[in-house]
């Protein structure tokens, strides 16, 4: 595990990992459900955060192409929320790390950290591509490797953590995955 202590945040939730409730659809064959549940458990372990409401995690990993009929079933709204949480947490992390920098410098640093390329890299660290629920067209066109889809999934995941566990849980994950990038800026 890549646990990193950042300002009292160990990168784990304040609650011990608890068994995730089964987020799988009963229409999937049992073996496939068990495999997906196991993969979602591994993701939660890597995050250091366990969802109380596993449906939030499943929604964060469901691309709009997967279910165009149900607007509540895909990750666009959690992505919107995650984008806002990410901007706030990164801004806070930068201010704590660079208290004497100007607003313009901080804005440039935040823009360099919060873009689709960097977010797709964070998603790849978590292997989100293999967990995504995609429509057939996105599946055929390589959607699991598309930077925009991966970046959106990472933001949606942060939005889901925020909805499930609050700002502090999301901030801890963001600090954990971005502290190294911020440290490089301080040394560079």
Which residues are part of the catalytic machinery?
A: 83, 155
What is the residue-wise DSSP string for 100-154?
TS-HHHHHHHHHHHSSHHHHHHHHHHTTHHHH-B--HHHHHTTGGG-HHHHHHHH
Task: State both tokens at 36.
Answer: 């997906």
Rounded to whole angstroms, how far apart are CA atoms 132 and 149? 9
Give Cα 114 to chain centroid, integer Å.
13
Rounded to whole angstroms, how far apart are CA atoms 28 and 180? 39
Are 133 and 122 spatial neighbours (Cβ–Cβ below 8 Å)? Answer: no
């Amino acid at each position: 595990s890549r646990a990193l202590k950042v300002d009292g945040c160990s990168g784990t939730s304040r609650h011990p990992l608890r068994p995730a409730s089964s987020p799988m659809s009963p229409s999937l064959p049992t073996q496939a459900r068990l495999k997906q549940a196991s993969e979602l458990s591994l993701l939660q372990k890597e995050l250091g955060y366990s969802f109380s409401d596993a449906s939030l995690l499943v929604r964060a990993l469901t691309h709009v192409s997967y279910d165009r009929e149900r607007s509540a079933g895909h990750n666009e709204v959690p992505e919107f929320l995650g984008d806002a949480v990410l901007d706030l947490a990164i801004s806070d992390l930068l201010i704590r790390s660079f208290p004497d920098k100007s607003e313009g410098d901080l804005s440039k640093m935040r823009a360099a950290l919060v873009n689709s390329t960097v977010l797709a890299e964070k998603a790849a660290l978590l292997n989100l591509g293999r967990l995504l629920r995609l429509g057939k067209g996105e599946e055929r066109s390589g959607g699991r490797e598309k930077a925009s889809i991966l970046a959106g999934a990472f933001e949606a995941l942060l939005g889901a953590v925020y909805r499930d566990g609050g700002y502090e849980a999301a901030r801890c994950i963001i600090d954990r995955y971005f502290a190294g990038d911020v440290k490089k800026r301080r040394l560079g």
